[in-house]
Structure 1
Amino acid sequence: MINRISIRNYAIIDQLDIEFSNHLSIITGETGAGKSIILGALGLILGERADSKSLFKDDTKCVIEGAFNIEKYNLHEFFAENDIDYESNTIIRREITADGRSRAFVNDTPVNLSQLRDLGEQLIDIHSQHQTLQINSSAFQLQVVDGFAQHKPEVEAFKSCFKAYKKNQQKLEALINQSTDGKAEIDYLQFQFNELEAVKLVEGEQEQLEQEQQLLSHASEIKTNLSNTFYLLDESETPIIGQVKEAIHHISSLEKYNPHIADLTERLRGVQIELKDISTEVEALSERTLIDPERLDFVNERLDLIYRLQQKHRLSSVKDLLDLQHTLNEKINSFNNADEEIEKLKKQLEQEFDKLIVQAKKIASQRSLAMKDVETQVSALLKELGLVNAVFRIENTLVEDHQLSVNGLDQIKFLFSANQGFQPQELNKVASGGELSRLMLAIKGLSAKYNALPTIVFDEIDTGVSGEVAKKVGNVMHKYAENMQVITITHLPQIASKGQTHFFVYKESKNGLTSTGIRKLNQDERIKEIAVMLSGENPGENALLNAKELLTQTN
């Protein structure tokens, strides 16, 4: 439950501090004083969006802080999953700066709005006036029944499986479309692949062929020059090697006269050895150099083929062509395997659908039992709320299996009749504003109990009722407050008198600036405020006596 809320610089609120009762807290005040703005601030710390327009003063940030006692509400798992320090007295804070930036904290741990909303949904149900129309929506009606059925884990598991099933359906559709498109493309892909595969490309062969092409194209020139070189080195009338040998003979005879000549002799011998090695290699290379026109033709044809493929596919190397061949092969295989994968996924979807139907029928059975409970308890409360002849029924139509949705097989409708002798019909056809308000009050209170919500807030849910009916509405709220915290904004004295705590909201002007204030009323102030609600400003003695009487009544 919420123990207190502190509001700074929000809307027309400069600063407010409110400490709520554990049971029924009443908020009253003139229209436009700012009662609903307080609920707007409460909504911000529960995860609603905000902007810089929410600021009372543009140059100061807005800070809203709420203190919640959560020790009885089994929220340890939520705090652990979101890596937030658990405290039985938890502080939620929201800050909004002048430039519209927003930050949120739970026990001083930064959280995002999604986390804040998830936590808020487990703490407070705020019911504003416009939400009464929500009772006409099938989603809300189903939510009510599920709350009574107490089968949230089963419903969540079903929804998770259904979403996975729909995702697989989309995957199947994409595969079928891909297969259809692929079959139109497969022949061309196969042609491209076959063309590349037939060439039997080898990585690095282009460079080798280009080098071989150079050798073969100039083989005659290479062989002639190598032969001439060998001739000069070793076979001419005065071969270079022979002349070096003779030079060694002449210079070696001089070593005895000059020791430095020995060094020259050794160097000449080194030259002789090197020239002999060169001569041998030149001779061998000349013998290996073949003039082979047929081989040259083959190399030229092979290179021409590689160049054409590169130009065709706009690629620059054999490696790129081999990569393309691999890619084409993968695409062809994926198309060839598509039919097999489609059949496999179809069987999987059939199994998932069968499982979903079993789950949906189990949930439908649980809902059917819960609907009787909803009808009984809501009907009883409607009588307490002055609708003694009211009939409340829930109609459920089970759709065909192929119409299965994320909500299962159930199509639920709330039916209502306020008058004896009239068949119940859909709410939007027969219920007045006051009747809808009382019906929503009954359903909201019961739902909060079944969903174990610590706090429920009603923002003028008493619209359309007055007099004795208003008193009965107040009694029901008082009854709810025995088991949960109830906060109610009201204009009706009969309801205001039922609160354990009564807050009065007002406007005040300081330094030419209007702001909202709030104060907790003592007994005498409550009497006067309820008397004003009964008869207007400056209430007479009878109104004051009537107010005292209302405050002394507990039912």
Structure 2
Amino acid sequence: MITSLSITNYALIDFLEVGFNNGFSIITGETGAGKSILLGGLSLVLGKRADISQVKDTSKKCVIEAVFDIAGYSLKSVFKNADLDYDPQTIIRREILPSGKSRAFVNDTPVTLDSLNQLSVHLLDIHSQHQTLQLVDDQFQFRVIDALAKNEKQLENYNTELNNYKSLKQELKQIQDFAIDAKKEYDYNLFLLNELTEANLIDGELQELEETYEQLSNVETINETISYSISLLNAEEIGVVDRLAEIKRQFTNISNFGKQYEAIQQRIESTAIELDDILIELDNLEGELTSDPSTLDKVNQKLLILNNLLKKHSVSEVSELIAIREELSEKISVSENLDSDINVLQTKINASEEKLKSIATELNKKRVEVTPKFTKKLQDILTQLGMSNARFDIQFRLTDGFKINGMDELQFLFMANKGGNFTELKKSASGGELSRIMLAIKSILAKHIKLPTIMFDEIDTGVSGEISNKMGDIMKDMSKNMQVFSITHLPQIASKGNWHYKVYKTDTNNVTQTQMRLLSQDERIVELAQMLGGSNITESAIAHAKQLLN
């Protein structure tokens, strides 16, 4: 319920602050007094778009703030879904800056207008003849029937499964689209993979093959070089090894004559040892390498294959070719498994469809079961409101498609007069009839679900005294379960409120301002008397006002 409202610098309001109570509150005032201004301010709190022309003094900020007691509305999940901090005393504030920019806050947290709209439907419902257009919207009609059928849990399960179903369908489409492209590339990728696989790639083999090729291509030169080197090192009397041995002997004789000679002697000895090792290595290599045209041809062919592959794939190392081979293998594997993945997804989709159909069938059954009792109650209330011949025929038909609230198609048919035909509600009911039908529906809903605060804006326009009396009774009865406001011109309705507020204008320093205040019991009698007989209050009007209040 709304507990307070403050408005600063809006339209004809310089500053207004008013508190509200639970139960049935009446708001009255002469035409033009500013009741529409009050509704305009509330609409901004509910998320309506702001207009700088609504600001009283455009050099100052306009602020509208409403406080709601929401402890009994089970709205924690709504706040959580909106990523807002929950507070049983929730404050909504709208600001219109001199620049024309508008801002909205919920418990001092900035929010978008979309978020504010989604939250506000749980807090306050302003009902006027314009809002009765909602009645002909099939989504609203579904919400009414589902509330009476207590379908909340089934609808929650249905929506959860519907989201899962849509997700699976989207995933399937993505895989199918991918499969089309993958199959186009499959043959080419398979050819490339086979080419790389047949090459028997080994990391580092390119360098080894190039060395082998160079050796086999130069066998004679290598063997001649080895043989000639051995002869130079090992020739009798003139070989390098013998000559170095002689030098070593000579320096051995003088090594004791000085450290410098000893150092040279040691270096000569190390060189001699190294030369002996080289000679042994050359002896081992001599004759090891022989001409092998067959092997040379194989190495050459492998080098050609590798170099062609490196060029083809624009890489420089065999390790990169191996990585490309693995990547192609993965693509081929994915392509070959796509049909299996598609079948698995299709199986999940089929299971989800069956689950949705089961829940939708249960929703349909409960809707059909509750409808006769609802139409009977609706017709009874409308009879009290002067529509004794009104009849409804609410029909459900299961379809093949999955809609946001099941698989039902809903027809809300209406007949206003005897002997007429049932036609769609939006085509057959007048504005006044729709207004009374909406009142009847909301009065029924008030006994089954926790509705937000509702404000009826001159719903009694064009209604006779007796019917307005019944309207007042209905709104009074609704207020037992929720906070109800009625903006009215009829004393029969105004007299039934627990609280009575008056909207009026004052002129201060040649400036007209709109004000609003809660009337005392005596002030209420005067207000009702004026509503009954005009500004010239008579004793009979006073007596009649007291009678209405009693």
Please confirm whether the aligned pair reaches a TM-score higher than 0.5, indicating the same fold: yes
Q: Distance in 2 between matches of 1:270 and 1:53?
A: 104
Q: Distance in 2 between matches of 1:202 and 1:499?
A: 93
Q: CA RMSD in A?
A: 3.8
Q: Distance in 2 between matches of 1:382 and 1:192?
A: 79
2:126 maps to amino acid = I
Which residue of structure 2 lines up, in the alignment, with residue 330 of structure 1? 330
Is 1:146–2:142 an aligned residue pair?
Answer: no
Give how far 1:272 is off: 1.9
Which residue of structure 2 lines up, in the alignment, with residue 362 of structure 1? 362
Tell me: CA distance 1:194–1:421, structure 2 relative to 1, closer, same or farther (3 Å): same
Q: Distance in 2 between matches of 1:49 and 1:288?
A: 95
Check the 8 A contact 1:360/1:409 in 2, yes or no. Answer: yes
Q: Distance in 1 between matches of 2:258 and 2:286?
A: 43
1:42-441 to structure 2, matched below 5 A, reads: 42-43=42-43, 45-46=45-46, 63-75=63-75, 87-93=87-93, 100=101, 102=103, 104-106=105-107, 119-179=119-179, 182-217=182-217, 220-235=220-235, 237-258=237-258, 260-284=260-284, 288=288, 291-391=291-391, 393-400=392-399, 402-441=400-439
Q: Distance in 2 between matches of 1:324 and 1:246?
A: 62
Check the 8 A contact 2:10/2:54 in 1, yes or no. Answer: yes
Give how far 1:372 is off: 1.9
Q: Distance in 1 between matches of 2:53 and 2:489?
A: 28
Q: Which runs of 5+ in 1 are unaligned?
A: none
Give how far 1:431 is off: 1.1
Give how far 1:485 is off: 0.4
Q: Distance in 1 between matches of 2:379 and 2:112?
A: 41
Which residue, 457, 467, 470 being the options, matches 1:469?
A: 467
Q: Distance in 2 between matches of 1:163 and 1:76?
A: 22
Is 1:540–2:549 an aligned residue pair?
Answer: no
Q: Distance in 1 between matches of 2:232 and 2:34?
A: 115
Greater mean deviation of Cα atoms: 178-187 or 335-344: 178-187
Tell me: CA distance 1:176–1:53, structure 2 relative to 1, closer, same or farther (3 Å): farther
Q: Deviations over 1:343-367 (max 9, x none)?
A: 3333333333233222222211211
Q: Distance in 2 between matches of 1:288 and 1:11?
A: 108
Tell me: CA distance 1:31–1:243, structure 2 relative to 1, closer, same or farther (3 Å): farther
Give how far 1:518 is off: 3.1
Check the 8 A contact 2:25/2:497 in 1, yes or no. Answer: yes
Give how far 1:138 is off: 1.2
1:398 maps to amino acid = R
Check the 8 A contact 1:148/1:373 in 2, yes or no. Answer: no
2:413 maps to amino acid = L
Check the 8 A contact 1:448/1:456 in 2, yes or no. Answer: no
Q: Deviations over 1:302-351 (max 9, x none)?
A: 23223333433444443343333333333333333333333333333333
Tell me: CA distance 1:398–1:455, structure 2 relative to 1, closer, same or farther (3 Å): same
Q: Distance in 2 between matches of 1:304 and 1:14?
A: 92
SS at match of 2:301: helix
SS at match of 2:387: coil
Tell me: CA distance 1:408–1:85, structure 2 relative to 1, closer, same or farther (3 Å): closer
Check the 8 A contact 2:384/2:467 in 1, yes or no. Answer: no
Which residue of structure 2 lines up, in the alignment, with residue 17 of structure 1? 17
Q: Deviations over 1:454-483 (max 9, x none)?
A: 522233433453544333323322221222
Q: Distance in 1 between matches of 2:102 and 2:455?
A: 28
1:328 maps to amino acid = L
Q: Deviations over 1:61-109 (max 9, x none)?
A: 5554333323333446666788876654444455666584745333x56
Give how far 1:135 is off: 0.8
Check the 8 A contact 2:172/2:345 in 1, yes or no. Answer: yes
Tell me: CA distance 1:252–1:175, structure 2 relative to 1, closer, same or farther (3 Å): closer
Q: Deviations over 1:247-293 (max 9, x none)?
A: 22112222444454323322321222233233434554565555544
Tell me: CA distance 1:72–1:262, structure 2 relative to 1, closer, same or farther (3 Å): same
Is 1:498–2:499 an aligned residue pair?
Answer: no
Tell me: CA distance 1:459–1:309, structure 2 relative to 1, closer, same or farther (3 Å): farther
SS at match of 1:26: strand
1:162 maps to amino acid = L
SS at match of 2:388: coil
When normalised by structure 1's length, the TM-score is: 0.84
1:444 maps to amino acid = K
Greater mean deviation of Cα atoms: 515-524 or 269-278: 515-524
Q: Distance in 2 between matches of 1:73 and 1:190?
A: 63
1:412 maps to amino acid = L
Tell me: CA distance 1:338–1:467, structure 2 relative to 1, closer, same or farther (3 Å): same
Which residue of structure 2 lines up, in the alignment, with residue 443 of structure 1? 441
Tell me: CA distance 1:112–1:221, structure 2 relative to 1, closer, same or farther (3 Å): farther
Q: Deviations over 1:233-257 (max 9, x none)?
A: 3447523332222122112222444
Q: Distance in 2 between matches of 1:175 and 1:259?
A: 85
When normalised by structure 2's length, the TM-score is: 0.84
Check the 8 A contact 1:471/1:494 in 2, yes or no. Answer: yes
SS at match of 2:130: helix
Give how far 1:148 is off: 0.8
Which residue, 543, 548, 553 being the options, matches 2:548?
A: 553
Q: Which runs of 5+ in 2 are unaligned?
A: none
Check the 8 A contact 1:416/1:424 in 2, yes or no. Answer: yes
Greater mean deviation of Cα atoms: 31-40 or 444-453: 31-40
